[in-house]
Amino acid sequence: MPVDDTRMTIGEHIDELRRCLIRALAGVAVGMIVCFIFRGYLWAIISWPLSVATMGNPPPMQTLAPSEGFATLLKLCMIVGAILSSPYGLYQMWTFIGAGLYENERRAIKSYLLPSMLLFLLGVVFFFCVVAPIVLGFFLDFTRGNYAPPPGWMVDWLGEHFGRGAPAATQPTTRAAYVQSQFRVTDYVSFVAVLSLVFGAGFQTPLVVIFLVRTGLVPVAAMRRYRPHVFLVILLVAAFITPPDVLSQVALGLPMYGLYEIGLIVAARGKRKADAR
């Protein structure tokens, strides 16, 4: 247990925070440089969910400004660099938190480090490999199905009764949908890369539950009693941090609540073991 001489002042805490932030940002910068060097492979990976959603025939993407392609690539490298350096960044975060704790509290904090890294990467992989192809496929199918040309009999009837001898204005030249999905590259990158970070953060839920129980801030009984409220809050959080579509919100909200229940089970077992000692 530390004595008063070893306690950090507010200024020392701020200085330690500054050093941890600089080291974390340096890790992101290194990850960004590595991503830029291997940018060809990076783009092949980031476009994989769209290729899966379209069965290997993705629509062409476009840029609408001279610098958009370069700026989007830098943004992509920064986000993926942050994901790759996330274990190091999480280590710096826990280092700062542990600087003001007792030795036994530091040991407890360190026990969260590896699970936190693994859960973050699991959230990223879950979105990238499961959620993204499903959501992209849904959007593409919705566009094709709801913006398709009218049936041929309707076109013929409109041409006969309102065309006055000329081809109907509604007569399509082909049977393709009136609206074709063609994404801006910056919108696609934002959708895939940013939501990967969101899912990685959302998968930290069980650690939050375990931390609250172990520190005595919230008892297990209270967390069980307020399950409906927690479920509602999780859905609201998922709705706030995901795009405005129900599919993405449910794809994040349901796993988060499942992880909440897993956190409750682990926390309850840990509490029983601690009480038995």
Residue-wise pLDDT for 93-136, tens only, equals 777 776 666 676 667 677 777 888 889 889 989 998 999 998 88
Mean pLDDT of 202-209: 90
Spatial separation of the C-alpha atoms in residues 86 and 29, rounded to whole Å: 12
Q: Which long-range contacts (CB under 8 A, 24 or more apart) does 18-26 make?
A: 20/92, 20/93, 20/95, 20/96, 21/92, 23/88, 23/92, 24/85, 24/88, 24/89, 24/92, 24/93
Spatial separation of the C-alpha atoms in residues 208 and 212, rounded to whole Å: 6
The CA distances from residue 121 to 62, 90, 93, 112, in Å, are: 30, 12, 16, 14
Question: For position 160, what pLDDT does the model report?
Answer: 62
Residue 249 vs residue 30, higher pLDDT: 30
Judged against a pLDDT cut of 90, whether residue 29 lies above it is answered with yes
Angle CA(113)–CA(86)–CA(192) in degrees, nearest 5?
130
Closest CA to 73 of 164, 190, 198: 190
Question: What are the residue boundaries of the structural domains of the chain, listed by start?
Answer: 4-203
- Strand ranges for 5-93 from DSSP E: none
Question: For position 16, what pLDDT does the model report?
Answer: 79
